[in-house]
Structure 1
Amino acid sequence: MLKIEIKEHQRNIDEPSSLTKILVVNSIEDVYSYYSEHRKHRSGRLSDENVIEELFKYTPKQIRLFLDEITFSIDLSTEQVFYADISILCRAKENEPSLTASVIFQTDFVNWNKPYSIAEMAEEISLIITSDNNPMYKYFEYDDEIITNGFGFVLGYINEDSTIFELETEIQEYIENLIDRAISSISNRLYPDVLLTSFIFPEPIKTSCKQYLVYFAQFLADLGVDASTEIKEDAHGTLFKIIPKDKDASLEQIRDALSIYLNAPTADNLVLIQKETNYDISVMQWQANILHLQSHLLITNSLLQLKDATIEQLKLSNYQYENMIKARPAIENVKEGGEEEVIKGVLSVTKYEGQGFSINLPEILRIMKRKLFRESNA
């Protein structure tokens, strides 16, 4: 059952007056959160990942017993110079008939190193949302004069019975698709004769995936397209650039070829392709590269499974060790002759301490029990 408490917290111990109200979700404190109340509208901004994960289990209908609106930030895997503030309305306002969600894109404009400006990015996102003509999404700017203060969109309806996790997943998928389309559109304008694609590969398989991309130029040559490729790694991911040497070459054909090339490792008809092409050397070489990538992915997946199994084994060992630690006092008590039952639950004996001597009655009783047991079985 959800329980959200409001607690006063002193952020700066050197400033006694620096008290602020924070959120406690199911007894988990978020010391960097904020709680505010304006005209009976209760808002909470969350920061701690554990608290956010806990709150993700619940629905707006459950949360509105404590808060009317919640806000949290997410990093965007498609473009790391962006992050998004997501606000979810849990109780409809008087002038709004339904629950809504709003997204504000924030940018690291100090470290902005793109060939296009933040304003161009905002304009492109605005054009895409408008051209999609979806009444559920509406573009807005936080400040009409300063674009770096934030821009984003409003989602006009959310289901109050969906969990925050489900809503966040849906919103994040829309955001990443939106940014991908915006970057692609801007890149096509800036580099009309070049095809640019960006990837964010997981670290364990990044090297293998980049090696597979290297062979794409030969793949194009086998198709009769003369082009060069460049792979650049930066803080925001892997940028793959394809430059046709023939200016008349169709970028759309190259884009289609790249799609086929990238999806091939997950296909299950490589043997059939090879047979239908009469063992063409170019197809065999391509197949060898696919199998090389697949083998690396298989090894990586096996290592991850082994790591997970090792972690589970360590958890089990730790659990067993803790039980041993808990049981040790009782075991040591027995070893020291602490107590022995004569009649279970009714009568027991303990060690007797006298002046200058002691009688270990529990141990004497145990010796007698063992002797009687041996005689009865003789």
Structure 2
Amino acid sequence: MFGYILQETSESYKKHILTIDGVSIDQEKACVYEHDGVLEARIYSVDLYEKIISLCSEELLHLFSEFRFDYPFSWESGFESFSIEDITVTRTDENIFKFIFGFGFIIGNWKQLWSMPEHGEEFISVLNYKCLTGYEWERWYDEHILGGFAVSFKIKNPSLPIQTELEEILSVLEQIHEKTITNLTLKAQSNAVVVKFNFPDEVKVACEQYLLYFVQFLHDIGIEATAELKEQAESILFSVIPKNKEEALENIKIALGIYLRLPTNPTLNTLTFPEHNIEVQRLVANIYHL
């Protein structure tokens, strides 16, 4: 059980040490603030994360008005420029329990084709569009969102372990995060054909190689383009960008549709091609190889 020990006091200052089952926690790992008689706990150690989420919010907030702890995991898609920085469990004056998720940007690591404010606005837009039955949410951020922002959800059952509802909300936020990246990628590559794939692990490498060979296929039919594969959670985002901006994207879409159907063409192995047609011979060889 979490508690605290009054360590130092004066007319204007009170210093507390957080405890677990009566044992003091190092102040580099946790601390307790007091404002007008209200206690707020801060946890900086990921070691305490599992301990915290195993408790119910009623138990956790028995002595404190809020409990804030670092979120020790990154997005599954490996997107490191924007993440959940901390999670707060809090209780309002109306005795309503809430989760507050704080989101932040890593400015020095930002290498996206869109800005951080655009990312934040798109995330909020997707969150607003998604149907979140049973949850209430709010948002706060500065004018440019560069300082990050927060989203809150009402805790439906404060008597259950925090982990029960927390994991459900984290799953929803992960989906919103993935959708945000997809939307922004499509907007940033408005001059590109972007397709999402889900490949089984046993054929993933071969499928990715076949997709990348599509650039050569386009070259052989007179279209110059570049291609990019980007992993997104369990999916692959395949982007084809024509070098000539005047090139009709519809032509590339048609070519990609034909190209993707070639390996399943039952007549492919019965067709004969002129030996001098290097392009066709190379294509067939790749299909058989991959």
User: What TM-score results when the alignment is normalised by the length of structure 2?
Assistant: 0.65
| Secondary structure of 2:54 counterpart | coil
**Contiguous gaps of at least 5 residues in structure 1:** 11-18, 200-204, 261-272, 290-378
1:167 deviates by: 2.9
Q: Distance in 2 between matches of 1:28 and 1:286?
A: 65
- Give the structure 2 partner of residue 215 of structure 1: 210
Q: Which moved more, 1:51-60 or 1:24-33?
A: 24-33
1:121 deviates by: 1.0
- Give the structure 1 partner of residue 156 of structure 2: 158
Label 1:279 to 1:109 Cα distance change in 2 as closer, same or farther (>3 A). Answer: same
Label 1:211 to 1:61 Cα distance change in 2 as closer, same or farther (>3 A). Answer: same
Q: Distance in 2 between matches of 1:162 and 1:188?
A: 40
- Give the structure 1 partner of residue 92 of structure 2: 93
The answer to whether the 8 Å contact 2:117/2:144 transfers is no
The answer to whether the 8 Å contact 1:106/1:151 transfers is yes
Among 19, 24, 41, the residue aligned to 2:19: 24
Between the two structures, name the one with larger relative contact order (CA 8 Å, sep ≥ 6): 2
- Give the structure 1 partner of residue 140 of structure 2: 141
The answer to whether the 8 Å contact 2:138/2:153 transfers is no
Q: Letter of the 1:80 partner, please give it.
A: E
Q: Distance in 1 between matches of 2:55 and 2:288?
A: 47
- Give the structure 2 partner of residue 242 of structure 1: 239
- Give the structure 1 partner of residue 62 of structure 2: 65
The answer to whether the 8 Å contact 2:141/2:147 transfers is yes
| Secondary structure of 2:167 counterpart | helix
Q: Distance in 1 between matches of 2:70 and 2:24?
A: 18
1:93 deviates by: 2.2
The answer to whether the 8 Å contact 2:193/2:252 transfers is no
* Identical counterparts, % of pairs: 16
| Secondary structure of 1:248 counterpart | helix
- Give the structure 2 partner of residue 33 of structure 1: 30
**Contiguous gaps of at least 5 residues in structure 2:** 9-13, 243-247, 271-282
Among 53, 56, 74, the residue aligned to 2:53: 56
Corresponding position: 1:110 with 2:108:
yes
1:248 deviates by: 0.6
- Per residue, is there more strand in 1 or in 2? 2
Q: Give the 5 Å matches for 1:200-349.
A: 212-218=207-213, 229-231=227-229, 241-243=238-240, 247-249=249-251, 277=266
Q: Letter of the 1:82 partner, please give it.
A: F
The answer to whether the 8 Å contact 2:15/2:33 transfers is no
User: What TM-score results when the alignment is normalised by the length of structure 1?
Assistant: 0.52
Q: Distance in 2 between matches of 1:133 and 1:209?
A: 32
Q: Distance in 1 between matches of 2:137 and 2:55?
A: 26
Label 1:165 to 1:218 Cα distance change in 2 as closer, same or farther (>3 A). Answer: same
| Secondary structure of 2:228 counterpart | strand
Q: Distance in 2 between matches of 1:64 and 1:110?
A: 36
The answer to whether the 8 Å contact 2:98/2:155 transfers is yes
Q: Letter of the 1:214 partner, please give it.
A: Q
Residue by residue, what CA displacement relative to the aligned partner does 1:123-147 show, whole Å, maximum 9, x if unpaired?
Answer: 112222233364734342233x342
Label 1:40 to 1:286 Cα distance change in 2 as closer, same or farther (>3 A). Answer: farther
The answer to whether the 8 Å contact 1:129/1:138 transfers is no
Residue by residue, what CA displacement relative to the aligned partner does 1:311-352 show, whole Å, maximum 9, x if unpaired?
Answer: xxxxxxxxxxxxxxxxxxxxxxxxxxxxxxxxxxxxxxxxxx
| Secondary structure of 1:94 counterpart | coil
| Secondary structure of 2:169 counterpart | helix
The answer to whether the 8 Å contact 2:229/2:239 transfers is no
- Give the structure 2 partner of residue 337 of structure 1: none
Give me the CA root mean square deviation: 4.5
Q: Letter of the 1:243 partner, please give it.
A: V
Q: Give the number of aligned pairs.
A: 248
Q: Letter of the 1:247 partner, please give it.
A: L
1:210 deviates by: 5.5
Q: Distance in 2 between matches of 1:286 and 1:7?
A: 70
| Secondary structure of 1:141 counterpart | strand
Q: Distance in 1 between matches of 2:284 and 2:67?
A: 54
- Give the structure 1 partner of residue 278 of structure 2: none
The answer to whether the 8 Å contact 2:193/2:249 transfers is no
The answer to whether the 8 Å contact 2:214/2:256 transfers is no
1:105 deviates by: 0.7
